[in-house]
């Protein structure tokens, strides 16, 4: 794989030498190349140091496997997940697609036609533009049960007739998603969960009567930012009991954070979902609103809703 040596008699350069140090350590060089490289190394402290660095780096790599934490017992967790999912892989896949399609329809209709939506807010449409999960319905039921079980203490709820944008949600409600996420066994895990599918926002105070539950689609925004086109915190509104609820997928394909190192740097017209840390250490799901979706500032919206 090494380039042919054109000037075999010429002294090797540092670049030539350093390009072959790994090959030299591997014993991959031809005898002549080895000889030439050694001749250069003899008189070049810089390349000697580079070789030493290569050795050290290779030694470190060689410790990779032995220093990795043990996998532990993955089997029980795997079978627990398997049991929670559908019994048949094929049926699971089929029901997953059906459920996802049904869910997409429900959310689309809800968002487009339910009059509770404030006319000036089209942010919900942005939310629903995010592709829905294709995970089996059994997975989602399991997740929902898990999330419901993990809910925090009840938080104040706005009535259904109340314009949702007029009442800023309490911190408890806003961070419901975060609390749910935090109950998952590990930050990495909830990040994965968010990517994979889903978060159902549910409100503990809607858990009535006992034994039943209501879930909430995500539509309302409470903007933290001062200017337009900024990030919105997601809260929820109630939908009928046991209705498959909106689940946001921060679809990787549609998310591009590459130029966004600051809230104000977000590109108008695109949407993102993310999990910044809140002051209390929790995390919230946020979404960006389209530039034309908010004709007024957050304060203006609240006033107009009143």
Residue list 102-161, contact with another protein (CB under 8 A): none
Q: Which two tokens stand for residue 27?
A: 């014993």
Beta strands in 127-253 (DSSP E): 201-202, 215-223, 231-238
CB under 8 Å to 12, separation ≥6 — which residues? 36, 37, 39, 40
Contact segment (CB under 8 A) with another protein among 26-34, 158-166, 206-214, 237-245 equals 26-34
Taking CB under 8 A as the criterion, the residue among 10, 13, 55, 299 binding another protein is 55
* 4, 68, 211, 306: which one binds another protein (CB under 8 A): 68
φ, ψ of residue 107 to 5 degrees: the values are -70, -40
**Residue from the set 77, 105, 131, 295 that interacts with another protein by CB under 8 A:** 77
Is 38 a binding residue for another protein by CB under 8 A? The answer is yes
Residues contacting residue 85 through CB under 8 Å, at least 6 positions apart: 92, 136, 138, 139, 142
Pick 193 or 305: Cβ nearer another protein: 193
Only segment of 8-16, 81-89, 117-125, 143-151 that touches another protein (CB under 8 A): 81-89
SS3 97: helix
Report the C-alpha gap between 238 and 254 in whole angstroms.
27
The b-or-e profile of 187-199 (16+ CB within 10 A means b, else e) is: eeebeebbeebbb
Residue 33 vs 216, nearer CB to another protein: 33
User: How many residues contact another protein, by CB under 8 A?
Assistant: 71
Q: Which residues in the 248-267 window bind another protein by CB under 8 A?
A: 252, 255, 257-258, 260-263
Nearer to another protein, 30 or 114 (CB): 30
Among 94, 187, 226, 303, binds another protein (CB under 8 A): 187
Among 7, 15, 64, 149, binds another protein (CB under 8 A): 64
Choose, by CB under 8 A, the member of 8, 14, 81, 227 that binds another protein.
81
CB atoms within 10 A of CB 78: 10
Which range touches another protein (CB under 8 A), out of 142-150, 168-176, 234-242, 271-279?
A: 271-279
For the chain, what is the radius of gyration of the CA atoms? 28
Of 218, 248, 227, 233, nearest in space to 282 by CA: 233
Tell me the sheet residues that pair with 223: 232
Stretch near another protein under the rule CB under 8 A, chosen from 8-16, 167-175, 237-245, 272-280:
272-280
Among residues 2 and 242, whose Cβ is nearest to another protein?
2
Q: At closest approach, how far in Å is the CB of 11 from another protein?
A: 15
The Cα 275–Cα 299 span in angstroms is 24
Among 290, 159, 142, 164, CA closest to 235: 164
When asked if residue 226 is in the footprint of another protein (CB under 8 A), the reply is no
Compare residues 4 and 75 and give the one whose CB is closer to another protein. Answer: 75
Check binding of 89 to another protein (CB under 8 A).
yes
């Amino acid at each position: 794989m090494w380039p042919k040596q054109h000037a075999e008699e010429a002294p090797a350069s540092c670049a030539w030498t350093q390009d072959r140090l790994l090959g030299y350590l591997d014993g991959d060089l031809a005898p002549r190349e080895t000889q030439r490289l050694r001749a250069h190394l003899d008189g070049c402290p810089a390349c000697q140091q580079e070789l030493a660095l290569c050795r050290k780096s290779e030694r470190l790599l060689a410790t990779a496997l032995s220093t990795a934490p043990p996998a532990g017992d993955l089997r029980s967790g795997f079978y627990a997940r398997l049991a929670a999912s559908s019994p048949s892989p094929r049926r699971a896949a089929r029901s997953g697609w059906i459920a996802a399609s049904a869910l997409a329809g429900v959310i689309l209709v809800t968002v487009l036609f339910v009059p509770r939506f404030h006319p000036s807010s089209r942010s919900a449409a942005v939310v629903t533009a995010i592709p829905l999960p294709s995970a089996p319905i059994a997975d989602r039921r399991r997740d929902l049960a898990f999330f419901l079980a993990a809910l925090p203490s009840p938080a104040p709820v706005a009535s259904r007739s109340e314009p949702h944008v007029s009442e800023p949600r309490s911190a408890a409600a806003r961070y419901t998603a975060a609390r749910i996420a935090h109950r998952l066994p590990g930050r990495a895990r909830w990040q994965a969960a968010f990517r994979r599918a889903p978060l159902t926002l549910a409100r503990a105070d809607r858990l009535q009567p006992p034994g039943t539950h209501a879930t909430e689609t995500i539509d309302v925004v409470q903007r933290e930012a001062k200017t337009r086109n900024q990030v919105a915190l997601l809260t929820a509104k109630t939908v009928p009991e046991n209705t498959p609820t909106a689940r946001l997928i921060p679809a990787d394909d549609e998310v591009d954070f590459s130029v966004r190192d600051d809230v104000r740097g977000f590109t108008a017209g695109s949407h993102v979902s993310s999990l910044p840390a809140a002051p209390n250490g929790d995390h919230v799901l946020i979404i960006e609103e389209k530039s034309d979706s908010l004709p007024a500032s957050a304060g203006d919206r609240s006033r107009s809703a009143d």
